[in-house]
A and B are shown apart, each in its own frame.
Chain A
Amino acid sequence: EDKVVQSPLSLVVHEGDTVTLNCSYEVTNFRSLLWYKQEKKAPTFLFMLTSSGIEKKSGRLSSILDKKELSSILNITATQTGDSAIYLCAVEANDKIIFGKGTRLHILP
């Protein structure tokens, strides 16, 4: 059974801290791994990762895929209150998308 597991499920840190969110997967016929940020109803796309070891960056956010370990991490440096959200990891495999349950991140001012 294909599955995507995110950890931690929730995280509370102070503004300025750096956080690392984890996503691991067990799927057959892996195609890509996606990270989304969810503040409103529609998740906001962050990254799509297909190749192992290549870091993708966007401002204070970065992500990398490790196909050997079947996992990915999402890093956020110098966190701000606006980073508070649910971060979703999803994996495309076997012509479907499997979502993790998300990590609920709360940044304290």
Chain B
Amino acid sequence: ETGVTQTPRHLVMGMTNKKSLKCEQHLGHNAMYWYKQSAKKPLELMFVYSLEERVENNSVPSRFSPECPNSSHLFLHLHTLQPEDSALYLCASSQDLRINYGYTFGSGTRLTVV
């Protein structure tokens, strides 16, 4: 285990469903991130939170809604998704936003939208 835990590991949802992805870290890190990994594409940064405040949103459609209730938990709420949203969603954390500290990634949630 990396210290960053994502649940569920797999999720299949219809386009009209509402679901949430959960990420949890107990590393004492202050920054958390959501990434999207599509097939044969590099990682895409979606959201960045630092000390529970959103500091970056990389033009992500509003059907993806993040929530960071505390520094250990990060959620990604999903609603009315499209089939092209099917991907591996990765959560990561770091000590803070400075790159020197590096990242710890979770293993991802494999999302399939049908």
A residues bordering B, Cβ < 8 Å?
1, 36, 38-45, 86, 88, 90, 95-99, 101-102, 104
B residues bordering A, Cβ < 8 Å?
1-2, 9-10, 33, 35, 37, 42-45, 48, 56, 88, 90, 97, 99-100, 102-105, 107-108, 110
A40 to B105: give the CA distance in the assembly, Å.
15
A36 touches B43 (CB 8 A): yes
Q: Which of A40, A44, A86, A96 contacts B42 (CB 8 A)?
A: A44
Given contacts A42-B43, A43-B42, contact A97 B33 (CB under 8 A): no
Kindly list chain B residues whose C-beta atoms are within 8 Å of the C-beta of A101. Answer: 102, 104
A38 touches B99 (CB 8 A): yes
B43 touches A95 (CB 8 A): no
A41 to B10: give the CA distance in the assembly, Å.
25
Given contacts A42-B35, A97-B90, A97-B105, contact A86 B99 (CB under 8 A): yes
Kindly list chain B residues whose C-beta atoms are within 8 Å of the C-beta of A38. Answer: 99, 102-103
Write the nearest CB–CB distance from B67 to chain A, whole angstroms. Answer: 19
Kindly list chain B residues whose C-beta atoms are within 8 Å of the C-beta of A1. Answer: 1
A/B interface sample: 30 pairs, CB < 8 A:
A1-B1, A36-B42, A36-B43, A38-B102, A40-B99, A41-B33, A41-B45, A41-B56, A41-B97, A42-B35, A42-B43, A42-B44, A43-B42, A43-B103, A44-B42, A45-B43, A86-B102, A88-B103, A95-B10, A96-B9, A96-B88, A96-B107, A96-B110, A97-B88, A97-B108, A99-B2, A99-B103, A99-B105, A101-B102, A102-B102
